[in-house]
Amino acid sequence: MNKVAGTSRNVMLSPGNTTGPNSPDLDVVVIGAGPYGLSAGAHLQAKGLAVRVFGEPMEFWATKMPAGMLLRSPRIASNISDPTAAFTLDAYEAVSGIEPKKRTPLETFVEYGRWFQHQLESCLDKTSVTTIRKENSIFRLELQSGQSITTRRVVVAAGIGPFQRKPGVFARCAPQQVSHCYDGRKIAEFRGKSVAVIGAGQSALESACLLHEAGAQVEVIARIPTLRWIGMHPRLHQLGPISKMLYSSHDVGPAGVSRLVAWPNLMRHFPLSLRDKMRTRAVRSAGAPWLGPRLASVKISTGRFVVSAESKGEELQLKLDDGSERRVHHVLLGTGYQVDISRYGFLPPELTGEIRQLDGYPDLGSGFTSSVPGLHFLGAPAARSFGPLLYFVAGTDFASKELTSHVMRQPVKS
Ligand SMILES: Cc1cc2nc3c(=O)[nH]c(=O)nc-3n(C[C@H](O)[C@H](O)[C@H](O)COP(=O)(O)OP(=O)(O)OC[C@H]3O[C@@H](n4cnc5c(N)ncnc54)[C@H](O)[C@@H]3O)c2cc1C
């Protein structure tokens, strides 16, 4: 294996670490260049650490979200955190001459992330990481380019791609007839086709709108008895200072819970059962309120689920739990994600076996540390330990500051 180029040590090391002939190439490697990875890289770099962020910037947002999508999160909760708070969405729009909109279009957010990445300069490498191995107290990473690199710490900020939830009932259908919202199929290719959208969350409902508007015949099939909308109690948002006491600006979770969710370090100390209750309540299936009117002429079947699905030539035959049948050209699964870190292809089983887990989520301590010294997780995998804010871009501020302060305080223990 070649060693990666350009890793000469010209920067300060973490306190408590020592250099020597066996010193690793880097202090910290971040895997993933989405909002969490870019933000963590910017904060760590500002402390003078030798850091490298691997991955194609904003790849998930640019290639896996449907064109025409609007961000569900409010503007203030869509800033990617940087150490000077200068690289905000507002700042990007101002320098790019873009008129700020109440709801941020996907394309603007992707370009914002790509603008944000420029502060990382040579710390960003678009190569993917293929494997991590632990060699005593350091990590060796193999890269898709064929090179390898060593580092004292690894921060996994690799998103939710491998965690797609696909109900087993569709397992035997022709693969081209069933896709997950994550597959990022072009909505326009469904014009004139019939599509069953499974699910009742934001992904499912927004995809149903976009498909319908693109000329597909759409039916939403959802288990829950009636569709839910985020912000179902608008009056609670209009009570001035009282609303501020009930909701944080991130707007993750219902009244009261929203305030607690905004304090991930407090959440971490709640019993797991209470944390789980608040987490599942905060991110239960619901659509943004502006989707309701756009779905007015779309067929919605709630309280129903598919019990069997079979490919019949160009079409799929679906049987529902009430005995009714449907014939459609395509099934789009808006069935969400289930975190399971063993599905990250770059984590070999011997390493995941060492990570203490809570049903697929890593059990994390302060500084987002896992039970493997020097191995950290950010974003969705951190949500079981730190609460649901970590599922959203709004969590980048807490995550990057907490991680960086931990890295600066604590040398890696073997
Ligand atoms: C339909 C939908 C709508 C959403 N809307 C919102 C919203 O409005 N507001 C909000 O805050 N959140 C929203 N989210 C949640 C959103 O996914 C997260 O907020 C955000 O993407 C988390 O950032 P991240 O950096 O953890 O993950 P990602 O954005 O997924 O970034 C991780 C990156 O890591 C890369 N990667 C993976 N493996 C490797 C590897 N081996 N080597 C190198 N790179 C790798 C991936 O390619 C990916 O680009 C939405 C999610 C979905 C599915």
pLDDT tens across 20-33, in order? 557 899 999 999 99
Q: Which of 314, 341, 310, 336 is nearest to 156 (CA)?
A: 341
Would the CB of 199 count as within 6 Å of ligand 1? Answer: no
pLDDT for the residue numbered 205: 96
Spatial distance between the Cα atoms of 411 and 414, rounded to a whole number of angstroms: 10
pLDDT for the residue numbered 235: 73
pLDDT in tens, 245-271: 888 888 888 888 889 999 999 999 999
User: Is a pLDDT exceeding 90 seen at residue 183?
Assistant: no
pLDDT for the residue numbered 2: 46
Would the CB of 59 count as within 6 Å of ligand 1? Answer: yes
- Residue 289 CB neighbours (<10 A): 12
The secondary structure of residue 297, as a DSSP letter, is T
Span from the CA of 203 to the centroid of ligand 1 (angstroms): 13
Tell which atom from ligand 1 comes closest to the C-alpha of 127: 43
pLDDT for the residue numbered 21: 56
Contact 197, 220 (CB under 8 A): yes
Would the CB of 205 count as within 6 Å of ligand 1? Answer: no
Report the predicted TM-score, pTM, of the whole model to 2 decimal places: 0.92
Tell which atom from ligand 1 comes closest to the C-alpha of 35: 25
Report which residue type is found at 20. Answer: G
Residue for token pair 């690793």? 24
Would the CB of 362 count as within 6 Å of ligand 1? Answer: no
Structure tokens at 153: 């710490």
Contact 267, 256 (CB under 8 A): no
Span from the CA of 234 to the centroid of ligand 1 (angstroms): 28
Spatial distance between the Cα atoms of 161 and 64, rounded to a whole number of angstroms: 9
pLDDT for the residue numbered 234: 72
Q: Which of 212, 166, 231, 230 is nearest to 68 (CA)?
A: 212
- The average confidence (pLDDT) of the chain is 91
Pairing of strands 2-3, 217-222: unpaired
Would the CB of 392 count as within 6 Å of ligand 1? Answer: yes
Tell which atom from ligand 1 comes closest to the C-alpha of 380: 26
- Using CA positions, which residue lies closest to atom 38 of ligand 1? 158
Span from the CA of 84 to the centroid of ligand 1 (angstroms): 23
Q: Which of 60, 227, 39, 10 is nearest to 124 (CA)?
A: 39
Would the CB of 65 count as within 6 Å of ligand 1? Answer: yes
pLDDT in tens, 75-123: 999 999 999 999 999 999 999 999 999 999 999 999 999 999 988 888 9
Span from the CA of 160 to the centroid of ligand 1 (angstroms): 6
Best residue among 72, 112, 207, 335 to mutate for probing ligand 1, ranked by most atoms within 8 Å of CB: 72
User: Is a pLDDT exceeding 80 seen at residue 9?
Assistant: no
pLDDT for the residue numbered 12: 37
- Using CA positions, which residue lies closest to atom 53 of ligand 1? 203
Would the CB of 405 count as within 6 Å of ligand 1? Answer: no
Tell which atom from ligand 1 comes closest to the C-alpha of 57: 49
**C-alpha of 70 from chain center:** 16
Tell which atom from ligand 1 comes closest to the C-alpha of 36: 25
Contact 57, 38 (CB under 8 A): yes
Question: pLDDT exceeding 90 applies to what percent of the chain?
Answer: 81
Gyration radius from the chain CA atoms: 22
pLDDT for the residue numbered 101: 94
Q: What are the start-end ranges of the E strands in 315-400?
A: 315-320, 325-328, 330-333, 357-358, 361-362, 375-377
pLDDT for the residue numbered 354: 97
Span from the CA of 54 to the centroid of ligand 1 (angstroms): 14
- Using CA positions, which residue lies closest to atom 1 of ligand 1? 203
Span from the CA of 211 to the centroid of ligand 1 (angstroms): 22
| DSSP string across 165-220 | ---GGGTTS-GGGEEEGGG---GGGGTT-EEEEE--SHHHHHHHHHHHHTT-EEEE
Distance separating the N- and C-terminal Cα atoms of the chain: 25
Would the CB of 180 count as within 6 Å of ligand 1? Answer: no
How much is the average pLDDT of 385-413?
Answer: 94
The secondary structure of residue 287, as a DSSP letter, is B
Would the CB of 157 count as within 6 Å of ligand 1? Answer: yes
**C-alpha of 270 from chain center:** 23
